[in-house]
């Protein structure tokens, strides 16, 4: 039995593998946010406390990176099947990959550089409205 390298094989396998990991990561995220923490308790302090543990940052970064690449790969496969855009295919693919790359870079930057102590020093910059009861 010989194996021929077929274009798109890596993308096909990546979709299956990344999809499986995303199901696990999203399930953990769902259980944590909706049942353990509780949506009503979700605020800046709870996220800051959660992100103090490296495992949660790694999990959120993996969810971001895998989700964006998985989605980009899926959109690309749809565009490859859509024959009317063959003329502009390279531009579409470049645009989609650029948007995904910018999103991954900015999202990863936020996840990796997040510091709750630095955010709390800027609390004086947020306006506070005081209402007098008459």
Domain residues for 86?
A: 10-117
Contact (CB, 8 A) for 62 and 25: yes
- Give tens-digit pLDDT for 47-99: 888 888 889 999 999 999 999 999 999 998 888 887 777 788 889 889 999 99
Residue 103 covered by a domain = yes
pLDDT at 121: 47
Look at the chain and report how many structural domains it folds into.
Answer: 1
DSSP designation for 53: S
Residue 96 covered by a domain = yes
Measured between alpha carbons, how far apart are the two ends of the chain, in Å?
86
Distances (CA, A) of 81 to 20, 71, 72, 92, 94: 24, 16, 14, 13, 17
CA–CA gap between residue 108 and residue 103 (Å, rounded): 8
Instruction: Check which CATH number belongs to the domain holding 108 and give it.
Output: 1.20.1300
Residue 66 covered by a domain = yes
Residue 3 covered by a domain = no
- Give tens-digit pLDDT for 58-68: 999 999 999 99
Residue 51 covered by a domain = yes
Distances (CA, A) of 121 to 67, 117, 125, 126, 129: 33, 7, 9, 11, 19
Pick the range with the lowest mean pLDDT from 16-25, 79-88, 110-119, 123-132. 123-132
Residue 100 covered by a domain = yes
């Amino acid at each position: 039995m010989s194996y021929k390298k077929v274009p798109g094989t890596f993308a096909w396998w990546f979709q299956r593998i990344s999809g499986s990991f995303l199901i696990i990561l999203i399930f953990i995220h769902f259980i944590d946010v909706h049942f353990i923490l509780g949506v009503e308790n979700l605020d800046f302090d709870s996220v800051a406390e959660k992100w103090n543990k490296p495992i949660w940052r790694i999990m959120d970064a993996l969810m971001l990176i895998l989700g964006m690449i998985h989605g980009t790969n899926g959109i690309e496969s749809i565009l490859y099947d859509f024959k009317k855009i063959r003329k502009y295919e390279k531009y579409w693919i470049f645009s989609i990959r650029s948007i995904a790359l910018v999103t991954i870079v900015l999202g990863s930057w936020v996840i990796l550089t997040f510091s709750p102590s630095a955010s709390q020093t800027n609390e004086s910059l947020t306006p506070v409205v005081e209402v007098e009861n008459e």
